[in-house]
Amino acid sequence: MEKGGNKEIPMDRVSTGPAGSTLEIFGVTFDDDGDYICEASNGEGAPITYTSAIIVRAAPYWDPNPPDDTTIAPRESVTMTCQAGGSPASSISWLINGKPESEVEANPRRTITSGQGSGQIIVTNAEQSDSAVFQCVAKNIYGEEITSVFLNVLAIPAEIRKRPLASYEEAEGETVEMRCEPYGKPNPTVTWSFEGTKITPGGRFTVEEGGSDDGMLRITELEKTDSGMYNCNVTNDFGTDAASPRLIVRKQTTVTEGPGAAEVTANENIVLKCVVDSDPDLELVVLWEFEGVEIDTEVNKNRYKLGSDNSLTVITARKQDGGEYTCKAITTFKSDSSTSTDTASGTVTVLTIPDPPNNVMVVNTNDLQADISGHQHSRNTPITEYTISTLQNMIIVGES
């Protein structure tokens, strides 16, 4: 048995009876529509054929999906399309709030089209009175499908849904983001100004459009001159809303002169510098660390002294005082407790008398030479020479 037009029979969805005398198709689709040819032969004479036609019919169905509810603002326009499949082809008609078009008062802003397989409703320059529930009806001899779609013409005065903070405080060179998310129908326009002058987006200034950051003002690489009063204004045909945040740009906290690398002889004092440039209106805190651990100058008064100029004095330096020292300068903003921080580090080398050699041994000797090895810690002081003495009966008899 074969399908006419050189088309293949869907063998995964068919079964045949005894000797192929019957053909059963499961899960029929439109692709199964067509002529099917049965050929019979018993080996005697010419085979005989019989053609059967399958015509696939279907009740209406949405193709691909029914239309969605729609919300628009006054004076906007919208097109709602309804498409349906079916065999024979589905006819499309519309109801308005449950009534046929012929029973509803004519509306010059509304155009309705009906037909085979597709229909549309177009509303132009909408008014709030155009809000309605439209029913799309798809029908053929095998059935009927109805779906409803709501057109909502909504006028909402502009408002700020997510308002900026009352004030922002950031350091020079940083980025500030001030929210001002608009809401309303029709969609409001967002305008930012600084000290009464409209901000034109570009360069360091960006005003986001759309998405979760809609209306946000972003300023990068902040400068002191950016300090002042900002205004966000949102407006549409039905209302206006505004917010006025203040921005304070602080001087960036910077360590202009740090401890640097230094050498000190054991038992001497060493002074480590930490010169800081910071905003004069903010409290400056300077902390010192040794090898990554904060130094408590109150607890260790006998070892460290913090100067009025933020310097650190290491008192009577010992060999264990050698290592990396870091000064950390911190200023805290008043508005949100965020900070501006800078650090500088330097390594201190404490010079001490070398330790005596250990594990000294003679590793190779002959009549003219002896090789001696051992371990030595210089304690940061360069070793300039070694003295090797020869003992006999615990008396030095030679040196080299």
Q: What is the mean pLDDT of residues 184-197?
A: 94
Please state which CATH number belongs to domain 61-153.
Answer: 2.60.40.10
Class level of CATH domain 254-351: mainly beta
What pLDDT does 358 receive? 72
CA 391 to chain centre: 77
Q: How do residues 347-397 score in pLDDT, each as one tens digit?
A: 999 988 776 777 777 767 776 666 666 665 555 666 667 676 666 555 544
- In the chain, where the domains are located: 2-56, 61-153, 158-250, 254-351, 359-399
pLDDT at 381: 63
Q: What angle do CA 85, 91, 96 make, to 5 degrees?
A: 110
- Residue 320 clears pLDDT 60, i.e. is over it: yes
pLDDT given for residue 110 in this prediction:
95
Q: How far is CA 235 from CA 208, 210, 279, 320, in A?
A: 16, 16, 38, 68
Q: Which of 1-10, 107-116, 151-160 has the weakest average pLDDT?
A: 1-10
Question: How confident is the model at residue 316, as a pLDDT?
Answer: 94
Residue 81 has pLDDT above 80, yes or no: yes
Mean pLDDT of 93-100: 94
Averaged pLDDT, 292-307: 92
pLDDT value, residue 398? 45
Q: What percentage of residues in the chain have a pLDDT greater than 90?
A: 64
61-153 and 254-351: same fold?
A: yes
Own/partner contacts of 283-286, CB < 8 Å, gap of 24 or more, are 283/331, 283/332, 284/253, 284/310, 284/329, 284/330, 284/331, 285/329, 285/330, 285/331, 285/332, 286/310, 286/327, 286/328, 286/329, 286/330
CATH code of the region 158-250: 2.60.40.10
Mean pLDDT of 325-344: 90
Whether the per-residue pLDDT at 196 is higher than 90: the answer is: yes
Nearest to 7 by CA among 47, 35, 26: 35
Task: Calculate mean pLDDT across residues 342-351.
Answer: 94
**How many residues make up the chain in this entry?**
400
d(CA 374, CA 358): 6
pLDDT at 33 over 90: no
Look at residue 260 in the predicted model and tell me its pLDDT.
92
The predicted model scores a pTM of 0.62
User: In the prediction, which pLDDT does 380 show?
Assistant: 60
Mean pLDDT check: name the lowest of 49-53, 179-183, 202-206, 361-365: 361-365
- Mean pLDDT to the nearest integer, 159-185: 94
